[in-house]
Amino acid sequence: MPERYEEVLDRVAAKFRRTAEQAARAGIIPYQSRDGKWLTSPYDGNGWWTGGFWPGLMWLLWYRTGDDFFRDEARRTGELLAEEFRRFRSLSHDVGFMYLLSCGADAKLTGSGQARTDTLHAASLLMGRFNPAGFIRAWNEPDRVGYAIIDCMMNLPLLYRASRDTGDPRFRQVAKIHADTTLRVFLREDGSVSHIVEFDPQTGRRVREHPGQGCFLGSQWSRGQAWGLYGFALAYRHLEDERYLEASEKIARNFIAHIRPDGLTDSDFCQPAGEERIDNLAGAIAACGLMELGRLTGKKEYQDNAVRLTEGLLARCADFGDSRCGILTHCTASYHDDGAGRHTNIIYGDYFLTEALLRLCGRDPELWS
């Protein structure tokens, strides 16, 4: 089996070797591909939360191939992201996604001192969003002071890294407080998780839940489930608290129960029966999270379901042809269209598909650690 995935990885690298040059020439950070072109994110320019996935993908491919084109492209776009430090205003809790996969990957894979400094800078920004009432603030709008979201579990690895690099426990202490709040407030009895919870910013009291990118209030937005699954697995790995492992396994059981017979993932596990709204981003993220969980627990069912998800993506929604720049199709940013893409190629689908393939070959550079 690994040989098959090695071969697929060769095709992934070959395709991006062809199409990434277009992005380099245009001087952009790709967000999605359409009509044979790479397009930038629809919002906030290079400051939008997805900016790290392109350099992250380039680092994965450099690690895989040793072709310095990928390293140079990762650094070109990493520098565009570093400029966002000075703009500041569009940066949110998603500095984890943005910088762990750009300068964080550079520091990890090449030992670059500047990249290490930039990564610590990003971690300090994430720390600056911590509300001592018990959570990391998600977004910047004045009416969202008390908002926290499940996705943030995947931003916490930036804090684990910072504590390890500096020897200062504060970063991981803050990560732990946020993870504990998420465990207590977001995780539901049935193993699903809320997307957005609003807290009283003065007291930390839960005020209400918001539907976010899901179908309706209280529904199960599949990508949120995937962020929770993978995020709690990583929290267990770094913070060594068994409750996080239990949470990740509980979310995984619910996720596995909702994988479609064709191996793809609906955008929301509560969407109306018969509705064809797929989100392959969720499937690719969950495949990686399940493999992490399989590694942590030694349970074969997690690896088996990760394979099932990856095979579904490869069989039905992977485009290796030249009419499209990216590979993974049927990615959906939000259940209710928010202009960020529906049933299209979106860059973090390609990032997580590539991470999943590297994991299946036993060659993952572990950029989240």
Active site residues: 94, 151
# residues contacting ligand GLY (CB under 6 A)? 5
Residue 255 interacts with ligand GLY (CB under 6 A): yes or no: no
Q: Find out whether 93 and 138 touch, Cβ atoms under 8 Å.
A: yes
Rank residues 20 and 333 by Cβ distance to ligand GLY and give the closer one: 333
**Binder to ligand GLY among 116, 206, 223, 324 (CB under 6 A)?**
223
Residue 53 interacts with ligand GLY (CB under 6 A): yes or no: no
**Binder to ligand GLY among 49, 59, 63, 244 (CB under 6 A)?**
49
What's the farthest any 2 CA atoms get from each other in the chain?
55
Rank residues 13 and 226 by Cβ distance to ligand GLY and give the closer one: 226
Residue 351 interacts with ligand GLY (CB under 6 A): yes or no: no
Q: How far apart are CA 128 and CA 93, in angstroms?
A: 9
**Where does the chain show beta strands of DSSP type E?**
32-34, 37-39, 130-131, 135-136, 147-149, 196-199, 206-210, 345-346
Residue 140, classed as helix, strand or coil, is coil
The shares of helix, strand and coil residues in the chain, as percent rounded to the nearest 5, are 55, 10, 35
Upper half-sphere CA count for residue 94 (Cβ side, 13 Å): 21
* Distance of closest approach, residue 132 Cβ to ligand GLY, in angstroms: 24
The H or E element that residue 206 is part of is strand 206-210
Residues in 60-119 at the binding interface with ligand GLY, rule: CB under 6 A:
none
Rank residues 151 and 249 by Cβ distance to ligand GLY and give the closer one: 151
User: Cβ–Cβ contacts within 10 Å for residue 210, how many?
Assistant: 15
Residues in 136-155 at the binding interface with ligand GLY, rule: CB under 6 A:
151
* Distance of closest approach, residue 151 Cβ to ligand GLY, in angstroms: 4
Rank residues 356 and 361 by Cβ distance to ligand GLY and give the closer one: 356
- Six-digit token string for 254: 């619910």
| Residues near ligand GLY, by CB under 6 A | 49, 151, 213, 223, 333
